[in-house]
Amino acid sequence: MNTANQSIKPITTKINDKGHIEIGGCDTVELAEKYGTPLYVYDEETIRTMARQYKEAFKDYPKVSMLYASKAFMTKAVVRILDEEGFGFDLVSGGEIYTAHTAGADMKKCLFNGNNKSYDELEMAINVGIGLISVDNFLELALLDNAAKAAGKSVDILLRVTPGIECHTHEYIQTGHLDSKFGFDLTQVDEAVELIKDEHKNLNLVGLHAHIGSQIFETQIYYDEVDVLLKEMARIKEKFGINLTHINLGGGLGIKYTDSDCPPSVYEIAEKILTSIKDNAKKYNMQEPEIHIEPGRSIIGTSGVTLYTAGSSKQVPKGRKYVAVDGGMADNPRPSLYQAVYTADVANKANLEPEEKVTIAGRFCESGDILINEISLPELEEGDILCFYNTGAYGYSMSSNYNRVLKPAAVLVNNSQSDIIIDRESYEHLVSLDVIPDRIKKA
């Protein structure tokens, strides 16, 4: 069975009788007119469908916790949707904790993750009742133990480990191989366990956590990850007498940005994970553990598109034709950061055939601010609306105010209704945190 991560476009996408792209029953050209551009548009049906497909894929295993990787895109509205779908949240900062908590998420179903958590963030996590904390390093063991002691609480923890598995993804988004900033090397686990047993009495070790990368198109790698973690858990039980009951496998399932991308379905990775659980629990003479899965991009990526308005153009003699849009690397840094490739259509000319090959350039003061290199589209004119697909993950969450450009708005569409979920920044908001010292103020 296919799942939504294998589609380039939101599942409700169609061309309406005006020849315009329609998503969630809303004409994207009309959305651009109403809310302005650049504009992030999220299809609620795609989000909920993908969440339900994850749950369906793992339904035969009774001990599974789904944790949305909030770093992909987090707003209070997204928290409410995924909380309704039974998800918890993988949180990596005080800001993400605050957002989840104030949106009404069940904090007992959340995990606090990250490689350099502050004492204040750990204290916040304890105070709001986060269910699990994934400990990344020795300093954090001590900080967390102190924070737990001060709060008079015992905290359930996972140890994040680097399993030594390298997936074939971009160098910057590989996190499971040995030379990584994340987690304990397997050779450090014994020292960490001894510290927890002998010194950090407020910490209760319940399992292991690993994350092998992002935008993963392989399936066997998930089987291997389970094998490594269960083997390590069996070793810990034999050496220390500690019966660990949880494994967090991270996320990382890829999505389809272009026709050449072939990500597996959720059902395919679920089959690999559950087969490995059964095989390796038997091999290492262990009880089958509770599984935590952390999908982020694969939940939210396909649901989101970005609308831009075409502006100036430039034909290089005997070279490329550039068409500039009113956004770029500040609202979507992935092409500059990861050399990410996208698919796009002209929203107001969706029923026309391509006539020219153009390069879509951003508006920011960097030569590398190119969103798509050489895409075939209908002839572009000033004012045309471009629709970039699969921008739901790591667009807004990685956005900036470079060149002091305002961050875009985001809307949620469903059943022909559109609702703001992030207001467009104003110039007043942009300067609201600026302070001029008295000594340089005008007289």
pLDDT for the residue 434: 96
CA-CA distance, 201 to 279, in Å (whole number)? 34
Q: How far apart are CA 361 and CA 367, in angstroms?
A: 9
- Residue whose C-alpha is closest to residue 246's, from 423, 64, 384: 64
For residue 164, the model assigns a pLDDT of 77
Q: What's the pLDDT score for residue 420?
A: 98
Residue 309's φ and ψ, nearest 5 degrees, are: -105, 130
Give SS3 for 384. Answer: coil
The per-residue pLDDT for range 133-157, each reduced to its tens digit, is 999 999 999 999 999 999 999 999 9
Residue 417 confidence (pLDDT) above 70:
yes
Q: Is residue 208 within 8 Å of residue 247, measured between CB atoms?
A: yes
Sheet holding 14-15, edge to edge: 14-15, 21-23, 26-27
Does the pLDDT of residue 22 top 70, yes or no?
yes
pLDDT on residue 181: 72
Q: Could you give the residue ranges of the DSSP H alpha helices within 103-207? A: 119-127, 138-151, 189-198
DSSP string, 259-328: TT--PPPHHHHHHHHHHHHHHHHHHTT-PPPEEEE---HHHHTTTEEEEEEEEEEEE-TTSPEEEEES--
Strands 304-315 and 321-325: antiparallel
- 26 an active-site residue? no
Model confidence at 177: pLDDT above 70: no
Residue range 44-300 in CATH 3.20.20.10: yes
| pLDDT above 90 as % of the chain | 93
Residue 180: its pLDDT value, please? 64
Is the separation of the CB atoms in 226 and 276 below 8 Å? yes
102's CB contacts (< 8 A; 6+ apart) are: 76
Cα-to-chain-centroid distance, residue 418: 23
Q: Is the pLDDT of residue 168 over 60?
A: no
Q: Which residue has the tokens 């000319």?
A: 349
Q: Are the CB atoms for 301 and 254 separated by under 8 Å? A: no
- For 335, phi then psi, to 5°, come to -60, -40
d(CA 112, CA 124): 10
Q: What is the mean pLDDT of residues 305-318?
A: 96
Q: Look at the domain 4-42+301-430 and name its fold.
A: Lyase, Ornithine Decarboxylase; Chain A, domain 1 (2.40.37)
Residue pair 240/232 in contact by the 8 Å Cβ criterion:
no
Average pLDDT over residues 334-340: 93
Q: Share the mean pLDDT of the chain.
A: 95
9-35: average pLDDT: 98
| pLDDT for 346 beyond 90 | yes
Higher per-residue pLDDT: 223 or 166? 223
Q: How far is CA 357 from CA 17, 375, 377, 379, 381, in A?
A: 26, 5, 6, 9, 13
Q: 324 in the Ramachandran plot: left (φ > 0), alpha (ψ -120 to 50) or beta? A: beta
Per DSSP bridges, beta strands 246-248 and 184-185 are: unpaired
Q: Is the pLDDT of residue 313 over 50?
A: yes
pLDDT for the residue 171 = 40
pLDDT at 443: 67
For residues 144, 146, 149 and 153, what is the CA-based torsion angle, rounded to 10 degrees? -10
218-271, pLDDT tens digit by residue? 999 999 999 999 999 999 999 999 999 999 999 999 999 999 999 999 999 999
Rounded CA-CA distance 281/55 in Å is 22
- What percent of the chain stands above pLDDT 70? 96
CA gap 308, 327 in Å, rounded: 7
Question: What number is the average pLDDT over the span 377-387?
Answer: 97
**Count of positions (residues) in the chain:** 443
Domain residue limits, the chain: 4-42+301-430, 44-300
Residue 64 three-state SS? strand
CA angle 419, 425, 426 (to 5 degrees): 120
pLDDT of residue 338: 87
CA distance 229 to 164: 11
What span, in angstroms and rounded, lies between the C-alpha atoms of 193 and 118?
22
pLDDT, position 169: 43
Token readout for 38 is 């650049």
Give pLDDT tens digits for 43-80.
Answer: 999 999 999 999 999 999 999 999 999 999 999 999 99
Residue 373: what are its φ and ψ, rounded to 5°? -90, 120
φ, ψ (nearest 5 deg) of residue 175: -125, -5
Examine the pLDDT at 178 and tell me if it is beyond 90.
Answer: no
| Amino acid at position 241, single letter | G
Given the residues 110, 262, 365, 387, select the one marked as catalytic: 365
Q: Is the pLDDT of residue 205 over 60?
A: yes
Cα gap 26→14, rounded to integer Å? 10
Our CA angle for 325, 25, 346, nearest 5°, is 25
| Residue at 289: amino acid letter | P
Q: Please give the pLDDT value at position 175.
A: 43
